[in-house]
Amino acid sequence: MVVSPIESRYKTEMNSLFDENARIASWVEVEVALARAHARLGNIPKEAADEIAMGAKRVRLIRVNEIEAEIHHDLMAMVRALTEQCGKYGGYVHYGATSYDIEDTATGLTMKRAIGKISERLEKTRAILRKRALETKKLVCIGRTHGQHAVPTTYGMKFAIWYTEAGRDLERLSQAEKMISVGKMAGATGTMATFGGRGRKIQSMVMKELGLEPAEVSNQVVQRDRHAQVIFALALTAATLEKMAKELRNLQRSEILEVAEPFSSKQVGSSTMPQKRNPHKSERICSLARLVRGNVAVAMENIALEHERDLTNSANERFIFADSFILTDYMLSEMNRLLEGLVFFPENIERNLALTGGAVLSERVMIALVGKGMGRQDAHELMRNCNVEAFEGKKKLLEVLCARKEVTKLIPKQELARLFDPHTYIGEAVEIVEEAVKE
């Protein structure tokens, strides 16, 4: 029976890189590369490397698990299972290596591949954001700061900001990929003592075959700052997704309702309130982002291992690596579906623009008064007082301003009225969006 929801509810294609079969397959892949390096250097017969490579194809998880149940060592269980599949030359399996030569090198290989898949998914997210930004670059809406109506902006600005942020996430993932794409073949304390003076050559050959870089220096393990950087890059990507999801679910509030998640004809929002259209996709993304962020703290703790290493990183890494990659991949998949099906409510966008009775254009009028000769601080104080009067008297700001002679002597009423069109107060928003998403 499945216990973890990443095996069912939040499962993606990423699972295939982190399941038990993939783990064993990556270990065997490293063992084969090691055997081939030994054979090329003449340390073992060429036939031995060929036999180990053929035997690797026959290793099965069920047998590895049977052996582990007896010896309580997962890597050595794989070594024995691989040895069983070899005939004459099985004794050369794992020659000169320690467990984490194999495990950490395999982890680097897996993470390199996993980051590639995350990056592909994130590229799709950016493509959708770019499309949305260009579609809505002139869709004027109210901007909000501190939860209050500020000045007009456009939906294109929102999407362009997310597009550029996702671009920085891609850069960080690329940096993390470079950092984690390393392996080691250096023995129990990193001295390569078991390789008879040819350790650096063997390590270089193994990593070249696997498409990795050799760690410059290691002890029993590849140093965990590399892994922490990967988890942190995933957490930052998750934070970007949470930022987007939080904005979209707040904009779906009943009293705002400018946008909404896609909602299928048979979808149920609540078990007791039939009218509900809950933003469950956005809320789920926000929830899972907390888990991915939480894994950063664990990854950071793993950096300070004792002496040449202890085992305090091992158990938790069985969780945090797979969880972080799978959940981030799931969140990206959910966000892509959400963005592609996002529904806009133009009438509500217009309603909210007008909700304050023109108060959101106060800045524009203030700037216009300064342009006509009034001091900036005087104009600010005048507009503040006029807004208080409008709010307390339940009047539109334009009505209050038109009754002020100190205003109308500088700005005629007809010109004042034109200043209260929010669609003409978006500055260079259109150009900013176009420049931000320019390919």
In the chain, what percentage of residues exceed pLDDT 70? 97
Residue 386's nearest CA partner among 401, 371, 366 is 401
Pairwise CA distance, residues 330 & 307, whole Å: 37
**Which pLDDT belongs to residue 290?**
97
> Mean of the pLDDT values across residues 301-328?
95
Pairwise CA distance, residues 179 & 352, whole Å: 47
Average pLDDT, the chain: 95
Distances (CA, A) of 160 to 124, 140, 166, 257: 15, 14, 10, 21
Close Cβ partners of 403 (under 8 Å, ≥ 6 residues apart): none
Residue 279 pLDDT exceeds 90: no
Bridge partners for 260 per DSSP: 343
Residue 15 pLDDT exceeds 70: yes
Helix, strand, coil fractions of the chain, as percent rounded to 5: 65, 5, 30
- What are the pLDDT digits (tens) for 375-412? 999 999 999 999 999 999 999 999 999 999 999 999 99
Give the angle 201-207-209 at the CA atoms, nearest 5°: 105
Two tokens, residue 278: 């809950």
**Which pLDDT belongs to residue 439?**
81
Residue 251 pLDDT exceeds 90: yes
Residue 88 pLDDT exceeds 80: yes
- What are the pLDDT digits (tens) for 30-83? 999 999 999 999 999 999 999 999 999 999 999 999 999 999 999 999 999 999
Angle, helix 225-251 to helix 314-340, in steps of 10 degrees: 30
At 272, is the pLDDT very low, low, confident or very high (cuts 50, 70, 90)? Answer: low
Convert 234-254 to b/e letters by CB count within 10 Å (16 or more is b).
bbbbbbbbbbbbbbbbebbee
Helix (H) or strand (E) holding 145: strand 140-145
Residue 331's nearest CA partner among 228, 233, 264, 245 is 245
Residue 262 pLDDT exceeds 90: no
CA dihedral for 270, 276, 281, 285, sign (positive or negative): negative
Q: Which residues are catalytic?
A: 146, 270
Q: Give the predicted TM-score (pTM) of the model.
A: 0.93
**148-154 vs 140-145, strand pairing mode:** antiparallel
Close Cβ partners of 354 (under 8 Å, ≥ 6 residues apart): 422
Residue 215 pLDDT exceeds 70: yes
Domains of the chain: 1-95 (1.10.275.10), 100-263+274-356+426-439 (1.20.200.10), 359-419 (1.10.40.30)
